[in-house]
Amino acid sequence: MKIRDSVALVTGANRGLGLAFARALLAGGARKVYAAARDPASVTLPGVQAIRLDVTNPDDIAAAARDLGDLTLLVNNAGILRGSGFLAPGGVDAVRAELETNFFGPLALTRAFAPILARNGGGAVVNVLSALSWISLPSAATYCASKSAAWSLSNGLRQELRGQGTQLLALHVGYMDTDMVRTVTAAKSNPDDVVRQTLAALEDGREEILADEVSRQLKLGLSAEPGAYLGMPRAA
């Protein structure tokens, strides 16, 4: 998948990582960048075409698929974080909301645009996942579950899309310097650097990018004993 002359749709493109994707796609020579947000007025980047798109709204998705028939690259970036545990008050509502945006949103958009990508030569889908796809933090367990589900979704979609020549690239990264985790004091990656790595991986034909040391170490930890996903051991 080449960035130059591509036609891209970036969800959640009004800020954070989505804005960084839109900026980099323009700089890389994309012919057109559709920048999607629930409120298109919040998209202020010159050179993009702002569109209204709530990834949990079937009517918005249908309208986008109807109007964006030239698409060759879908970037499923929109996501939410409720910061809840499963047993916390409101935990069920939190995980439902996160699954609607973080799992069902990318699924619905990919289903809607897969035929369009096929007609336009195959193209690519980028799913923004997380290092938290592989572990569960008590303070954000519901979010972790939604990203774990999105990882499984990406692995399944990749196999189904391969036959039509559509590349699916999954991006895993830990904390980034965005509004979503502005209160977190841990080290954070620069969104522009994450996007640079992701677009380079896309052009190289790769299917997964681990964009920081946290994501690389956590994936290695899946095969450790005990596995990283088991969390901290209980005191004796």
Place of tokens 């002359």: 5
CA atoms within a 13 Å half-sphere pointing along the CA-CB vector of 42: 14
| Helix (H) or strand (E) run with residue 58 in it | helix 58-67
H or E element in which residue 201 lies? helix 191-203
What does the block give as tokens for 74?
Answer: 């879908």
Catalytic residue, candidates 34, 143, 175, 229: 143
Q: Distance between CA 194 and CA 173 in Å, rounded? A: 8
Return d(Cα 141, Cα 139) in angstroms, integer: 6
88 three-state secondary structure: coil
- Give the whole-angstrom CA distance, residue 27 versus residue 207: 23
Q: Are 150 and 133 in contact (CB under 8 A)?
A: yes
Q: Which backbone phi and psi does 126 adopt, to 5 degrees?
A: -110, 120
Q: Is 175 one of the catalytic residues?
A: no
Q: Which residues are catalytic?
A: 143
